[in-house]
Structure 1
Amino acid sequence: MQFNEMPFEDAVPVDGYGPNMFRIAGKAYEGAVLVCGERVIPWGGYTDTEALVEIRDKIDFIIIGTGPEMAHLPKSFRDPLEAAEIGLEPMATPTAARTYNVLASEGRRVAVALLPI
């Protein structure tokens, strides 16, 4: 799927997604990714909380794309992030990508961690 163009100043947009891939700022990435500001980082999924804790001072919350459908976040993933006082907003990956784009284009301090569809 491809998204409509939006203005971005301090962030890169999620341009599209497909099976096991994302297009972010015109570049293709395979697998799960973390997008924060102008950085795109390969993300280890629910076992990788460290990458999310490292960006906590740069964001107000993190949108978690849970895959093709909305899913509950595992307790083992949620607990260390809640202990680090990081707000989490889980949603299906397509919705997470669109929501991130809107908020980032408004200049909000938000990151998105996306599991592929």
Structure 2
Amino acid sequence: MAEDERFLPAQAPIDAVLDGGFRFGEMSHQGSLIGLPGRTQAWTPKGTAFEISAQDLAPVLEMAEVVDILLIGTGADIAVLPQSTLDTLRGAGLACEVSATRAAVRTYNVLLSEDRRVAAALMALT
């Protein structure tokens, strides 16, 4: 099974940010992660945080009708996304907040606990 095909069939809060991965849903995952309504799955962005593209965020864009806000965790530090990526997200009706991964996880967990329509694309800490 390809890495991006592995998933948990639920949107799970993140229990811990680990070096190189995450703990959630009574399991751990090495690598980046994306949380969507109805699933939590491996995420493999093609470049650095500064290079995150609309193609990298295709799983979120495919669910834009059921997501109001996208949180993007860019690793240990905050990064500025390409304007073209931000324009695509905005065009799909998604509000986007970019922060360091640990901060994005905290916000994601709060919004999930409030039953908000949220997605998160979280780069692993390296």
Whether these two folds match at TM > 0.5 is: yes
Q: Deviations over 1:15-72 (max 9, x none)?
A: 0011211111121112111112341122232241211201211211111001111111
Gapped regions of structure 1 (runs ≥ 5): 1-9
Q: Could you tell me whether the CA contact under 8 Å between 2:33 and 2:122 is conserved in 1?
A: yes
Three-state SS of the structure 2 residue aligned to 1:100 is helix
1:108 to 109, 113, 116: 116
Aligned to 1:72: 80
Greater than 3 Å deviation, 4+ residue runs:
none
Residue of structure 2 equivalent to 1:31: 31
Contact 1:12 1:37 in 2 (8 A): no
Gaps of 5+ in 2: 1-9, 46-51
Q: Does 1:62 find its partner at 2:70?
A: yes
1:53-95 deviation line (CA, Å, top 9, x unaligned): 0121121111100111111112343232222221110011000
- Give the distance between the partners of 2:87 and 2:17, measured in 1 at CA: 29
My pick for the range that moved more, 30-39 or 84-93, is 30-39
Shift of 1:110: 0.8
Corresponding residue SS for 2:115: coil
Q: Is the 8 A contact 2:36 2:60 kept in 1?
A: no
